[in-house]
Chain A
């Protein structure tokens, strides 16, 4: 008996076959490598070819763990290092050097664009997809600073013979960034970089104008707020598209905190239980800064506006002074401008910022000892100087910053960065940092546009931010 195949029957059979093939294909793929991590370019944790290293001590290259009689297996541990931005190639080079010295450890670098890095990292942590080591910036740190995510590194730090854990910077790092990553007696990160903020100035513009540049005025001991305003006013000249301005900036929280500290004030009290920005030393400093545009007209636009864009004006030689940090070196790498750096002027005292990022070991790391070895290498004098030589803007390692790998031109007077670090203040970040910065930015926008005075704004900041400090 012959079976007549209809078109409907043929289509039905085809659909069944395709569906079945898809199910089989998906089933076989799901038994492969970890599908959770979208950004990891390699496996985490232990290589399938290696015997897992114990958490007590990593096994040396070529050594066989007890009980393993296979002569072929080598004890090689894989760790994943998560960083942001375009630092892949820099950390790949560092990792290659590290692997030569520590053949038992293989490093896989994963990265994400800086703008979304911390959000992605948080998503991975929530999904229990932990890299072994993660770099985290200071103003995002509060989101991660919990035993659920990060390991306490205190025991590791104690074991380093050349460090002194009783010293704020362990006699190795600048103390301010080192202390920042410590909470409730636990050390959650090793400081990676430090970014003191001074002033970058266009040396040629000052020479043409015949006016002492900021470094010269600082050396003479005459570099005050009044001198700054006078200098900026003298440097402002011209009209239209050819106009040169004395100063421009971005009015981020670090720019304003600097001025507050220079005026003898602060945003929070020492133990961050109170907001004290509503005191005259603080709000006068904020008002003075925004008045550079609103009153003194030495800036091209409102200092909270993208039109004030320092990196638009400075490379074109259209502004005499901008905020100058270790990052400015990278920003001006390809710019044809002769620039120097100097500390910020003082009102009551000199003061600088010292923010940066830190290296952490996650709680989900399967190889914390290997991750610690990597961090130790990165913050060693050799590792830190290597990073500086190859493009890292600054380092939290004191010896590295005092070496020729940091103290080179441009800019002129690079050693002024070291002077700034002597007057560095702790970052004004709190546990609920995002909420605080949202409230802060809103009020600063209103002051910058002239819709509120700094005094009014700081009263509102105190009222709205102080409840965030409770229970922190």
Chain B
């Protein structure tokens, strides 16, 4: 009887192993299309970029290995640091505006009102409008005879040459980009707000809490995970921002709006210095990673998880 039992157990183990292998094969089969895409469109370009970063290549001539020369040049390149500084300026201004107004919009739209979906759609529209259309419209808005300067003239303020003055060009780009991207923050924070239990507000009302107290003691702490996510992704996106610079200002005037992303583009595709452009893109990756890690560390201080 022991022999029959052993034999039965071996057969059962073999069956289980075959089923597991079959299952794994099906998993691999269904993952393969995504894996091919991941490798072909992410891993391979990253590897090529790494090779370019340690090489010199101007397209007509063949690739030449130069070791760390591109990275050493970067450290001594004032244009790199100016572009980085512009990127950080853009990031700080954009995130401050996006987060503040995104939160206000989310709070305003987190109501059960008739037609609230229409208002949410209106706020969402800038996000789905193409940059070409947005840039054209805002270039007119910023023109000397445009609506913004007309409003300023009503207040007795002289017209501002928004896009042609190096002091004002970056604030103009920040304002335009914030107008377009507030909706994205609003959506994330609105979803977070809708996850907060109304019973907490009811209980705090009973205890006599004011709206402001509810905001700071209930809403913001419970919204902090969504805020954290929105900030992390927002900072990553804003450090890589390219479209508004390319369309509205081309990095000018006087390189005042030239961000690191735009500098990488002009270095690689206009100056044909592909190796240096690739090295700078790796530097940008490391910088973004550092910002993300700092935020990850700081979340312990202010993000509240239930």
Q: How far is the CB of A220 from chain B (nearest CB, A)?
A: 36
Q: How many pairs of residues, A versus B, come closer than 8 Å at their CB atoms?
A: 67
Which residues of chain A come closer than 8 Å to B143, judged between CB atoms? 306-307
- At the interface, yes or no: A126 with Cβ under 8 Å from chain B? yes
Q: Which residues of B101-156 are within 8 A (CB) of A? A: 139, 143-145
Given known A-B contacts A119-B269, A148-B60, A434-B270, A302 and B254 have beta carbons under 8 A apart: no
Is A306 touching B166 in the complex (CB atoms < 8 A)? no
Residues of the B chain whose Cβ atoms lie less than 8 Å from the Cβ of A227: none
Q: How far is the CA of A300 from the CA of B164 in the complex (A)?
A: 13
Interface membership of A239, Cβ < 8 A: no
The reply on B8 being an interface residue by CB < 8 A is no
- A448 contact from B30, B164, B271, Cβ within 8 A: B164
The interface residues of chain B lying within 8 Å CB-to-CB of A241 are: 145
Alpha-carbon distance A451/B34, docked complex (angstroms)? 53
| Cβ–Cβ contact A306 & B139, under 8 A | yes
Chain B: how many interface residues by the 8 Å CB criterion?
24
Q: Which of B164, B255, B270 contacts A306 (CB 8 A)?
A: B164
B164 touches A438 (CB 8 A): no
Task: Mark the stretch among A350-358, A386-394, A439-447 that contacts chain B.
Answer: A439-447
CA distance A405 to B271 in the complex (A): 39
Check: B175 CB closer than 8 A to any chain A CB: no
B240 at the interface (CB under 8 A from A): no
B266 touching A434, Cβ below 8 Å: yes
- Cβ proximity bits A437-472 to B, threshold 8 Å, 1 near / 0 not: 010011101101101000000000000000000000
- Note all chain A residues with C-beta closer than 8 A to B269: 119
B161 & A302 in contact (Cβ 8 Å cutoff): yes
**Pairwise interchain contact B26-A12, C-beta atoms closer than 8 A:** yes
Residues of A within 8 A of B (CB-CB), count: 30
Q: Is the CB–CB distance between B272 and A449 below 8 Å?
A: no
B252 within 8 A of partner (CB): yes
Scoring B26, B139, B164, B272 by chain A CB atoms within 10 A of each residue's CB, the highest score goes to B164
Query: Does the CB pair A305–B271 fall under 8 Å?
Result: no
User: Taking CB as reference atom, which chain B residue is nearest A303?
Assistant: B164
Asked if B253 lies at the interface with its beta carbon under 8 angstroms from chain A, I say yes
The main secondary structure of chain B at its interface with chain A is loop
Mark each residue of chain B from 47 to 86: 1 if its CB lies under 8 Å from any CB of chain A, else 0.
0000000000001110000000000000000000000000
A12-B26, A301-B144, A307-B161 given as contacts; is B254 within 8 A of A449 (CB)? Answer: yes
**Given the complex, which residues of B lie within 8 Å of A445, measured CB to CB?**
164, 166, 252-254
Residues of chain A lying within 8 A (CB to CB) of residue B272: 143, 434
Report if A402 contacts B (CB, 8 A): no
- Please report the C-alpha to C-alpha distance between residue A32 and residue B26 in the assembled complex, in whole angstroms: 33
Chain A 61-101 interface residues, beta-carbon cutoff 8 Å to B = none
- How far apart sit A12 and B60, CA to CA, in the bound complex (Å)? 49
In the complex, are the beta carbons of B164 and A302 less than 8 A apart? yes
Residues of the B chain whose Cβ atoms lie less than 8 Å from the Cβ of A126: 59
Say whether A146 faces chain B, with CB atoms less than 8 Å apart: yes
Within 8 Å of chain A (Cβ to Cβ): is B202?
no
CB interface residues, A 294-317, toward B, < 8 Å:
300-302, 304-307
How far, in Å, is B216 (CB) from chain A's closest CB? 44
- B26, A446: Cβ atoms closer than 8 Å: no
Give Cα A448 to B272, complex, Å.
29
Q: Is the CB of A449 within 8 A of B166?
A: yes
Q: Which residues of A contact B61 (CB under 8 A)?
A: 148
B278 part of interface (Cβ distance < 8 Å): no
Q: Does any Cβ of A come within 8 Å of B165's Cβ?
A: yes
Q: Are B164 and A307 in contact (CB under 8 A)?
A: yes
Decide if A435 is an interface residue (CB 8 Å cutoff): yes
CA distance A171 to B144 in the complex (A): 49
Most buried by A among B26, B61, B145: B145
Q: Among the interface residues A122, A149, A434, A438, which one has the most CB atoms of the partner chain B within 10 A?
A: A438
- Tell me which of A143, A301, A307 has the highest count of chain B C-beta atoms within 10 A of its own C-beta: A307
B85 to chain A, nearest CB (A): 15
Chain A residues with CB below 8 A from B266, complex form: 434, 438
Q: Does A17 contact B (CB under 8 A)?
A: no
Q: Residue of A at shortest CB range from B270?
A: A434
Q: Does A21 contact B (CB under 8 A)?
A: no
Residue contact A451 to B161, C-beta cutoff 8 Å: no
Given the known inter-chain contacts A307-B144, A445-B166, A445-B253, please indicate yes or no for A122 contacting B26, CB distance below 8 A: no
Smallest CB separation, B244 vs chain A (Å)? 15
A451 touches B166 (CB 8 A): yes
Q: Is B59 in contact with A306, judged by CB distance below 8 angstroms?
A: no
Task: Report 15 cross-chain contacts, Cβ distance below 8 Å, ordered by A residue.
Answer: A12-B26, A15-B30, A148-B61, A149-B60, A300-B144, A301-B144, A304-B164, A305-B253, A307-B145, A438-B266, A438-B271, A445-B166, A448-B164, A449-B161, A449-B253
Top-8 shortest CB links A-B = A305-B164, A445-B253, A445-B254, A434-B270, A148-B60, A307-B144, A146-B60, A446-B254
Other than the known A149-B60, A445-B252, A449-B165, what 6 A-B pairs have Cβ atoms closer than 8 Å?
A146-B60, A302-B161, A305-B253, A435-B271, A446-B254, A448-B253
Residues of B within 8 A of A (CB): 26, 29-30, 59-61, 139, 143-145, 161, 163-166, 252-255, 266, 269-272
